[in-house]
Chain A
Amino acid sequence: MTTLTSLETLQETARRIRRHIVEMTHAAQSGHPGGSLSAVEILTALYFGGVLRHDPARPDWPDRDRFVLSKGHATPVLYAALAEAGYFDTALLPSFRRLDSPLQGHVVRGTPAGVEMSGGALGMGLSFCLGQALAARIDGAPWRCYCLLGDGELNEGQNWEAAMAAAHFGLDGVTAIVDRNRFQNDGPEAEIMRMDPLAEKWRAFGWRVIEIADGHDVRQVIAALEEAKGVTGRPQVVIAPTHKGKGVSFMEENPAGWHGKGPSDEQLAQALADLGFGGGAADNGSEA
């Protein structure tokens, strides 16, 4: 569904997604806001920037492009993007992590429709995408499979098994995106498990690497993903430098503290103010 969408509209969508993220994690008093906020422009580019061929009215359309959230804890950004795209009503978002809600803490395939694969144990999504792309190739089908990886997640060895295999099989229908926020659960990636030189690792595994300067510039993300579509014979990875907690002052200042918890009432008010929803916690309308 490629449509020409103005930069302003995309940025406004990103802002609404951020609002959903902080409100959902506030309502749940749990969840993963930091690594969701870092990926907002990536999902905005995919779902709203004309990158993904998808149709919210037909989540099981066989020829849709697939998006797999391998960093499966970043459900707030996925649910917010799917709701904004029209896969389900935004009114469902406050039920995030509640009993009987389809909005599970970590991704569950088909729950709700639009969630392509289960996850939450790190390092599994890319292998799934290889299988998807291989099936499309066997069938001569046109669709592609996109995989969002965290950089901390890349500690998991399965990613590198998948990286080897994707290049070996020449699966050009696979595009990985690394949300390079440089923080993982226990702290800065440089202290916990250094991933640099990351681009060289992917190149050594046989991937086309597309590095952008700013993963929060939705135009750069779109351009990189469109460039990836033109690559033949090998998988592609877009490395997108981001900030954990992007858009919320106190999370940006302390990314390590905002991996897996929800903001308090006061922090929600601050977050909404940071995002330009001036009224604070009381102004909780979703039409802003």
Chain B
Amino acid sequence: MNIRSSSRHLALEALPERTASVDVSFDDARVWSIDVRQFGASVELDWPETLQPYLVGSTRISVRDSTDGTLLGEREVSFSADPQRTSVTNTDGTPLVLNKWGRLGVALDAMSVDVQSLIVERSSTLVAQLRELGLRPFVVGGTLLGAVRDGKLLPHDDDADIAYLSVHTNPADVALEAFRVGRALADLGYELQRHSATHMQLLFRGSNGRIIHYIDVFAAFFSADGLINQPFHVRGAMRQEQMLPFGEVHIGSAVFPAPADVDRWLTINYDANWRTPIPGFVLDTPPETSRRFDGWFGSFNFQREFWDAFYGTAATRGASGASPEEDREDAEQEWAAGREWLRSTADAFEAPTLVDLGCGSGILSRQLARDRAERRVLGMDYSVEALERARESSQDERTDYEHVNLYRARSLAFAAEYGVEAPFDVVANHLLEQIGHHGRSYAWRIMRMALHSGGRAAFAFHARPSTNVTFTDPTGWHLETAQLVAEASQFGLEVEFQELAQPVAPETGPIKLAVVNGTRPVSRALRAGRMPIGALVRLAPRTRAATPAVHSPGGRS
């Protein structure tokens, strides 16, 4: 087999007919596994976007058959003139592999035997704890596949997957139960991140605070139509007796419960060829299934991986010699006009607490706290990395950073949870155009809560998309003023816009910021750019009249 490669493409020529999956390695470190069943004897692929930043220097690319490790071909290539060897590792030097979601992560085969044993041990403990909670746990996904096929964890996987079979059939009851399960697991000491109502991820950190591995916990249930469901992917025809009573599978010496008919389960989860190892296998959830599960259980993690990577990466910069704070300001330069406008606007805000919704690394929160020493600034975000960066950079005791997820109705409870009393103000810098309409509905509500509390609300956004806008990069998204006006009116709100001058790029001169009168024609420079706009939010007159200032139980019903 021949290999050709540039920094953009990888071409594999004369692939053996029997090969279903190949492992691509740089200097013997696996970086990517590819399901090649869909291709002919020759294929040219783009290097995945997430790998491209690492394609620097030279390496020996080798391609092996994933099933038996047979070397199919190798070749020395230079991606660039840089003298170093190409390295795809994290900041600890641990090799990273492209996972089934197209993201880079640490695969189990790169973890030590000790860590793998720990994952199995922790999975066993978790199964016991779920049983103690009165649930019916069993292993699913790659953990079940590895156990059935080889009696061990899949080397190409990156976590353990455990589900519990709910007794409920109604999605609302299943979600409600899952919220309680999540709280019970948190009470047991687990660090938990919710991707949806029924998909929880338990995070396990090392002594340095870095995440070593995950265990995913899912709810599974039979819906009223008789189908088995395990969001986010599994949905298919399965009889109760194919599920219960549970059978057993082994991972090393550990015994785990499994569906009675593992063949049926794995066929629904993967396909009828689940016995053939395809490390590059990509789960292809039917759109109607995704739509159903997203509706029933939400997408609490919508774009969160992006933001975690965005703020995680900014924190590791420093080659320029600049401080981490300066580096972050540089990375967030595109939002500077909105930041400055919100600072000047919030100068007139008088509530004792100001909430910075979608605070990111907290640049604006800190500036707002410095501007007015007497007020408490509460920065809120759903990205763990963003909140960590914000807390690291904040020396100011009047600035707090807390988790809030605008894809959840629970976000409305933030005031009670974080001790915010009336009145409070809200600002949001380039949040609304980057969260989608589901998140926006709760952002509008929080702004309305601020206004009803006697506070004020303002936000900034881009009215034009970036030239290379994509679905996967929300920083390029935009909103039009007409759409915002229409949305605001649905929440009984009015919006007043002000066009903001774009910041001049740092290398071409100092940042010049000025509010442009909204009635003036938009300058040519503004037309060419992203068109940052500031927006002041007010209660529409009818809302002011209709909403009581003091809440009472509201009589009998």
Same complex origin of A and B:
no
